């Protein structure tokens, strides 16, 4: 197959990582895959001046900023200057995949020669307060065949948008990158979190739970990382180890420093850090967002009530009080669950979902 992925831009977000994994895997399977995206928008003069006044220098415009595409065998095409992508920008293909609500609007207008139209839905993007909710919702009614990453999104597309033909392909984890040898508990009880400023990430829930847990367990250590510094550093427990923009090689080491990884999201497409932490033998303590219910039900950690810092505090204290041998068993179980989510297996499922949208795939399905 000739497959084109259309991204709105590139960065180190989880969504771009997943697209990169699939594009690379499909190419490895023998398909001709291309990732197309617009060049970054030119920052307005006001933002440039602010950057200069803050001592961050004059922003340098680059055609293709660093991202999860780097270091992978992926054919890419950058459309410059920054603008919506149109049919003329793309080579003919068998399948074209939208990856974000804006790209779904673009793909819906493409000529039929650009391929069967697929919408890869990694979240309910109506929950993002900075997006136009009605336009986002309208893209889910465009009639593009959807592939999504979690059962709750399949249910949402059916119940809210009337689409009963959604393909489910759960995310996976690269166990070559995210891995750690067996270990016991830390000398001091230690928990970790991924920091995000967006309200739906639930960082406030985790920080409140940590404050409560510190009252009962003063020696509790906290490890955190994120793509930007916290807005209120004083909201973190004293002595928190916070790493800004860790390298990809550093992230597994951060997971492996912890007895539990805290996940407080109010809404999440899948929650890749859940699998990444588990692959590094760190059990999770999670709210029921994204894939957390399935992963915890399989034995990967503890599920807590949403919007309930007290319940997360209880789980932190429970896991930190766990004797070493039961904790090692929980750690091994988390690792085993994560290891069962293979990117090659997921890519084969993704491949089948794409193939079914092509004329040849539709004929084969009808015959079957």
Tell whether 263 and 216 lie within a shared domain: yes
Tell whether 333 and 353 lie within a shared domain: no
Is residue 289 situated within a structural domain?
A: yes
* Residue-number span of the structural domain to which 318 is assigned: 190-339
Tell whether 330 and 347 lie within a shared domain: no
| C-alpha dihedral (293, 125, 255, 312), degrees to nearest 10 | -50
Q: What is the pLDDT of residue 117?
A: 98
Tell whether 303 and 196 lie within a shared domain: yes
Q: Are strands 145-148 and 284-286 parallel, antiparallel or unpaired?
A: unpaired
Residues with Cβ within 8 Å of 155's Cβ and at least 6 positions away in sequence, in order, are none
Q: pLDDT-based confidence at 366, cuts 50/70/90?
A: very low
Per-residue pLDDT of 297-316, as tens digits, reads 999 999 999 999 999 999 99
Is the pLDDT at 367 greater than 60, yes or no?
Answer: no
d(CA 350, CA 334): 25
Q: What is the pLDDT of residue 363?
A: 38
Residue 334: CATH number of its domain: 3.40.50.2000
Is the pLDDT at 79 greater than 80, yes or no?
Answer: yes
- For the chain, what percent of residues have pLDDT higher than 70? 92
Of residues 71 and 46, more confidence is placed in 71
Is residue 179 situated within a structural domain?
A: no
Is the pLDDT at 44 greater than 90, yes or no?
Answer: no
Is residue 183 situated within a structural domain?
A: no
Is residue 182 situated within a structural domain?
A: no
Tell whether 332 and 243 lie within a shared domain: yes
As beta bridge partners, residue 222 has 191
Find out whether 39 and 63 touch, Cβ atoms under 8 Å.
Answer: yes
Is residue 105 situated within a structural domain?
A: yes
Tell whether 200 and 305 lie within a shared domain: yes
Tell whether 83 and 201 lie within a shared domain: no
Is the pLDDT at 170 greater than 60, yes or no?
Answer: yes
**Which token pair is 265?**
């999201």
Is the pLDDT at 161 greater than 60, yes or no?
Answer: yes
d(CA 342, CA 338): 8
**Which token pair is 212?**
């409560």
Tell whether 353 and 332 lie within a shared domain: no
Tell whether 208 and 239 lie within a shared domain: yes
pTM of the model: 0.86
| C-alpha dihedral (193, 64, 137, 108), degrees to nearest 10 | -150
Distance of CA 15 to the CA centre of its chain: 5
Span 41-58, average pLDDT: 64
Span 87-112, average pLDDT: 98
Per-residue pLDDT of 175-194, as tens digits, reads 999 999 999 999 999 999 99
Q: What is the pLDDT of residue 360?
A: 74
Q: What is the pLDDT of residue 58?
A: 60
Tell whether 278 and 255 lie within a shared domain: yes
Q: What is the pLDDT of residue 364?
A: 45
Is residue 9 situated within a structural domain?
A: yes
Tell whether 30 and 162 lie within a shared domain: yes
Tell whether 134 and 38 lie within a shared domain: yes
- Where helices occur in 116-267 by DSSP H, the ranges are 133-139, 151-161, 203-216, 251-256
Max CA pair span of the chain: 66
Residues with Cβ within 8 Å of 361's Cβ and at least 6 positions away in sequence, in order, are 355
Is the pLDDT at 51 greater than 70, yes or no?
Answer: no
Is residue 82 situated within a structural domain?
A: yes
Q: Output the average pLDDT for the chain.
A: 93
- Residues in the chain, total: 368
Is residue 180 situated within a structural domain?
A: no
Span 265-271, average pLDDT: 93
Domain count of the chain?
Answer: 2
Residue 143: CATH number of its domain: 3.40.50.11090
> CA separation (Å) from 216 to 11, 187, 203, 212, 269?
40, 18, 20, 7, 33
Torsions phi, psi of 362, nearest 5?
Answer: -65, -40
Torsions phi, psi of 294, nearest 5?
Answer: -65, -40
């Amino acid at each position: 197959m000739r497959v084109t992925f259309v991204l709105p831009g590139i960065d180190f977000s989880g969504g771009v990582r997943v697209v990169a994994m699939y594009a690379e895997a499909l190419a490895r399977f023998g398909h001709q895959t291309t990732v197309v995206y617009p060049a970054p928008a030119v920052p307005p003069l006001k933002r440039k001046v602010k950057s200069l006044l803050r001592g961050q220098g004059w922003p340098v415009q680059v055609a293709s900023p660093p991202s999860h595409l780097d270091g992978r065998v992926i054919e890419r095409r950058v459309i410059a200057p920054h603008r919506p992508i149109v049919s003329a920008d793309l080579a003919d293909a068998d399948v074209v995949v939208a990856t974000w609500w804006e790209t779904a609007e673009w793909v819906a207008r493409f000529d039929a020669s650009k391929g069967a139209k697929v919408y890869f839905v990694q979240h309910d993007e109506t929950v993002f307060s900075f997006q136009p909710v009605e336009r986002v919702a309208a893209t889910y009614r465009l009639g593009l065949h959807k592939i999504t990453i979690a059962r709750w999104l399949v249910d949402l597309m059916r119940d809210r948008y009337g689409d009963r033909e959604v393909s489910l392909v759960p995310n996976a984890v690269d166990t070559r990158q995210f891995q750690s040898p067996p270990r016991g508990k830390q000398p001091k009880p230690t928990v970790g979190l991924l920091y995000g400023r967006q309200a739906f990430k639930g960082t406030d829930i985790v920080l409140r739970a940590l404050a409560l847990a510190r009252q009962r367990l003063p020696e509790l250590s906290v490890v955190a990382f994120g793509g930007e510094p916290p807005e209120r550093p004083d909201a973190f427990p004293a002595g928190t180890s916070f790493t800004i923009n860790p390298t990809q090689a550093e992230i597994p080491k951060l997971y492996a420093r912890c007895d539990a990884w805290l996940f407080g999201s109010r809404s999440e497409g899948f929650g890749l850090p859940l699998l990444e932490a588990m692959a590094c033998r760190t059990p999770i303590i999670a709210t029921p967002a994204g894939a957390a219910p399935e992963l915890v039900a399989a034995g990967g950690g503890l599920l807590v009530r949403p919007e309930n810092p007290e319940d997360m505090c209880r789980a932190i204290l429970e896991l930190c009080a766990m004797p070493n041998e039961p904790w090692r068993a929980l750690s091994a179980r988390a690792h085993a669950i994560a290891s069962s989510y293979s990117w090659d297996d997921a890519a084969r499922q993704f491949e089948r979902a794409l193939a079914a949208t092509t004329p040849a795939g539709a004929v084969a399905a009808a015959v079957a």
